[in-house]
Amino acid sequence: MKYQVLVDFTCKETKHIYRTNDKYPFKGRTKKVRIEELLSSNNMRGQPLICIVDEEEVAND
């Protein structure tokens, strides 16, 4: 799956700064638990920070 950043944030694990519309993660892979945390409001910001990108939309761009 591919993920897109909804809100600017700094990753607490890697210290990488993500900006709105960046892809997540910027390189490599990340833990499923971390993705679930960022998709939900169960994180330090209290709001979803990333969303799932529709693979078909990416292919059509």
Give me the number of domains the chain comprises: 1
Query: Given a cut of 90, is residue 20 above it in pLDDT?
Result: yes
Angle at 20 between CA 19 and CA 25, to 5 degrees: 65
pLDDT at 54: 83
Q: In terms of residue numbers, what domain contains 35?
A: 2-60
| R_g over Cα of the chain | 11
Query: Given a cut of 80, is residue 55 above it in pLDDT?
Result: no
The token pair at 48 is 């979803």
* Three-state helix/strand/coil letters over 7-20: CCEECCCCCCEECC
**The whole model's pTM is what?**
0.84
Give the span between the Cα atoms of 25 and 8, in whole angstroms: 13
Query: Given a cut of 80, is residue 4 above it in pLDDT?
Result: yes
